[in-house]
Amino acid sequence: MNETITLETMPKAMAYLITKVEALEKALMEKSETPTAPADRWMNIDELKAYLPDHPAKATIYGWVSKREIPYHKGGKKLRFLQSDIDKWLSNGKRKSESELKDEADKYCETRKIG
């Protein structure tokens, strides 16, 4: 609709705009209904090696599995790793900052009974 709008073409232009707005509303509603969370996925050892930030050697990953340091699933002779488990494992290794440790210590001291 690239023509000049006059008083006579106003109803046609309004109808055109209304249909476009309705189409946009429908597209937005469909988009908001689709889940945005990524689906959890299974990884083999090579995919895990590529997924981990420091890309450890396979031998390192096998060592973690044998020491039960990393979450894994075993089906037959194959190792499988669930991405959500790996993400939790990675976040559990986070070290707290000094301010976080101080806040924890303050909360602990407030809840302890003295004497």
Residue 2 has pLDDT above 90, yes or no: no
* pTM, two decimal places: 0.53
Average pLDDT score over the chain? 87
- Please state which of the ranges 2-11, 13-22, 32-41, 81-90 shows the lowest mean pLDDT: 32-41
Rounded to whole angstroms, what are the CA distances from 90 to 47, 57, 62, 64, 72? 16, 17, 17, 13, 13
Distance separating alpha carbons of residues 100 and 105, to the nearest angstrom: 9
Give residue-wise pLDDT tens across range 11-40: 888 899 999 999 999 888 888 776 656 678
